[in-house]
């Protein structure tokens, strides 16, 4: 039986998309997750929704307790994770409102607990593999459903996650482009890595909201712009999640 965890990012704090909702609070050895879970069903599939920044969006990116979030998702018996995230575009061809099915990340965060591995127990070395951290089956389901919904989307993309809360300088933004990053956000690392450590298949729907600041033809990104563009397009993300989850039952 599949059970899908949705990690809702900025703009998707409390999507009212569940039937028969119950609220479940979980404590973990790593502390309290960002929010309680809203549990219910979509298209007959069990779903638990966590709000990455808290329901009132009071948790800044560096303060998100990713280990508690992922541990709680495992403890709830979730078999898959679909995460959502707003992102800036580092490529002209990724427009505002486009959706990117991430397939790689670059971790440019600095102050986050990025692993469950704290010591090598009994002298056993533990270096988690991370070559392809996004789950192919989930990505394929997202891609097929995005096609059916006729959404503007990109089948793959590398995200660079920065520490935040500040946005990048122009020099940083240009450097990230040279490194091969396609989009930028403040959340995918280490969330995705931690899901991999606990062997929970993970995919992320990244909604492009701005051109960061590398594109000199555009005004540099502001938080107000991110939220405005996300809100204008959030219905696409929700439809994609709903259809994809219903299709996973098959
Ligand atoms: N989230 C949305 N847009 C972003 C940007 N330009 N940089 C970092 N995080 C973002």
Q: What is the ipTM of this complex?
A: 0.99
Residue 19 has pLDDT above 90, yes or no: no
Q: Which of 161, 226, 237 to mutate to test the pocket of ligand 1 (most atoms within 8 A of CB)?
A: 226
Q: How far apart are CA 83 and CA 151, in angstroms?
A: 18
Average pLDDT of the chain, as a whole number: 95
Q: Is the CB of 61 under 6 A from ligand 1?
A: no
Determine the pLDDT at residue 103.
98
**Is 132 noted as a catalytic residue in this protein?**
no
SS3 content of the chain, % helix, strand, coil (to 5): 30, 25, 45
Determine the pLDDT at residue 16.
80
Catalytic residue (one of 98, 107, 182, 212): 212
Q: Which whole-number Å values give the CA distances from 127 to 15, 102, 138, 161, 193, in the listed order?
A: 36, 23, 25, 21, 12
Q: What angle do CA 216, 98, 207 make, to 5 degrees?
A: 95
**Is 103 noted as a catalytic residue in this protein?**
no
Tens digits of per-residue pLDDT, 69-104? 999 999 999 999 999 999 999 999 999 999 999 999
Q: Is the CB of 201 under 6 A from ligand 1?
A: no
Determine the pLDDT at residue 210.
97
Q: How confident is the model at residue 126 (pLDDT cuts 50, 70, 90)?
A: confident
Q: How far apart are CA 245 and CA 118, in angstroms?
A: 34
Q: The whole model's pTM is what?
A: 0.96
Task: Pick 3-116+127-249's CATH classification: 3.40.50.1580, 3.40.50.300, 2.40.50.100, 3.50.50.60.
Answer: 3.40.50.1580
- CA-nearest residue for atom 9, ligand 1, is 185
What tokens were used for 130?
Answer: 């991370």
- Is 55 annotated to bind ligand? no
Atom of ligand 1 nearest to the CA of 211: 6
- The structure tokens 């309680």 sit at 36
Q: How far apart are CA 105 and CA 102, in angstroms?
A: 8
Prior bond of 165 cis (ω within 30°): yes
């Amino acid at each position: 039986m599949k059970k899908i965890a949705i990690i809702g990012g900025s703009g998707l704090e409390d999507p009212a998309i569940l039937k028969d909702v119950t609220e479940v609070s979980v404590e973990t050895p790593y502390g309290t997750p960002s929010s309680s879970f809203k549990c219910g069903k979509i298209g007959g599939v069990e779903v638990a929704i966590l709000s990455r920044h808290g329901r009132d969006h009071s948790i800044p990116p560096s303060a998100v307790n990713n280990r508690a979030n992922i541990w709680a998702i495992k403890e709830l018996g979730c078999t898959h994770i679909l995460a959502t995230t707003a992102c800036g575009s580092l490529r002209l061809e990724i427009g505002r409102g486009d959706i990117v099915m991430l397939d790689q990340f670059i971790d440019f965060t600095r102050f986050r607990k990025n692993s469950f591995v704290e010591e090598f127990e009994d002298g056993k070395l533990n270096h988690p593999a991370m070559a392809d951290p996004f789950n192919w089956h989930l990505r394929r389901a997202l891609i097929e459903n995005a096609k059916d919904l006729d959404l503007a989307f990109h089948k793959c993309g590398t995200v660079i996650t920065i520490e935040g809360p500040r946005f990048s300088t122009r020099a940083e933004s240009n450097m990230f482009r040279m490194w091969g990053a396609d989009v930028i956000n403040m959340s995918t690392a280490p969330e995705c890595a931690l899901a991999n450590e606990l062997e929970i298949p993970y995919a992320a729907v990244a909604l492009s909201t701005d051109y960061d600041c590398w594109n000199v033809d555009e005004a540099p990104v502001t938080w107000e712009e991110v939220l405005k563009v996300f809100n204008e397009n959030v219905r696409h993300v929700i439809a994609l999640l709903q259809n994809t989850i219903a299709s996973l039952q098959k």
